[in-house]
Structure 1
């Protein structure tokens, strides 16, 4: 890997692999001053489609920290919008184009363009809530099924708390889990109607059908006893894949047959994300304590590694106005973006 000066304010990074050499554009700027962006440790990331003129739509970054959320337009140094201070443990773009902010205070929903709070969680953590409410650090995900409204699912050992994006109402669904889940993600069922959710815990993944409240399957990662730290769903070669990361490795499965595919040796993985080269072909991005790596989720081929020298705890992707694919990464050292020039494969 080598850094190449591009201009007075930007650098390009060259990475080499068996497939050749590629150049990454760093979109991060020098540390700004005054009222420019000053990101602290990043706790959550997502991208959000917004319409500034009422006609065209563009995607923006939503960057969560311990003090609030900044909305940042690609290529800009200053935030387009800064939401009122509140710690953000997770961020989700809703089907209506709003931003759901999950924290220990509940789930708040914002109309970012109008700077309007549409739904507010409790003003303070509710210590008198039922014992079924998961603890603050519990993992969560956004569930968006065609048959119902979008829900934020927050998991603990006893089940999952479902909070409606529309009205803020919550319901608890008991789930039989053998260990405390460390990661959770919604999984599209092959029949297109079932409501599946995957829980990552000690040594494997438990898949649960929320509608029927029944176990679908438990899949294990061979020779692994450590907790599953991260989960991701992605598309590749006509298949929907589930990826799970433990302390030592990453495993992918075909969710139609649960046949295992990639067995990836990747120590200390902290985050996973799908990188969409096209609608039907994704790469798998993994973040560790010191690097960002791109993998082929079927063959386990390592495509690129970018040494960050800092933990990568959140990853998200964005297509900008000219169609370029951007990766946003965040962690204790802050937030930065990279432009990726990997072409989509020629698929039959």
Structure 2
């Protein structure tokens, strides 16, 4: 009888032990889920505070779920200097964000400082109030709290040396637009940004020293810059940045066809646009050595001799080839 009763008791103890283990697992999983949600809520509050500061100076904040719509708006409604504007419609945030009423899953991926003035209502009329030029530099430390921030545009204002040091510490930064001044030492600091792929220098007068540092950026694939002080030495530096896939150069009227010969080493280059230059069809042998080149747009300085109907631009490599093989100008009667 005793052995029979013991057999009946043991399953109860086993069941109780199993229940405790199951409860421990459930509590552990619940704590992990709550910890994950709590961490995301904490990060969301930080990003909301940063977004409020940016929007207070008429900056634009783009979350990851808005990025596709934002890019469409950028192409349809270009903003300052051809830069992006806010998306015309806002897509729905992630499910959890909709349920809670504030961003938890969504993260900021793009920041724009594109407005030099903000407008306030005075007696029924909107009056422009200039945004101080040092505002972007003051907000850069706050941007460091955005771990998924990939793209930043500074269409106004001046950044200081500390700003560039902080930008280099952003783990996800891929694209940077600048319209203020920048020194070679600042570009050198940005070399620590291991994911920085696209660099756009708007309305800046670049020189050879700056191009020499830009060519050393380890992940640079797209470059847009301008400068009348750029010489063949600067182009030779860019020729060493062999991972470049897209490049636009503007206002480089001092350069000749010979200065562009180092570009033949850019075997990954797919898109090349050169504005306000003196390139002729004699550069065809150089550009024809680029096996992946798909887009070639060259806008040259108009000729001073209207008698000769020379082309002022090349819209493709084939067009340059045709001019190279038939160099005789046509007389314009």
Structure having greater relative contact order (Cα 8 Å, sep ≥ 6): 1
TM range (shorter): under 0.3
TM-score, L = length of structure 2: 0.28
Q: Greater share of strand residues, 1 or 2? A: 1
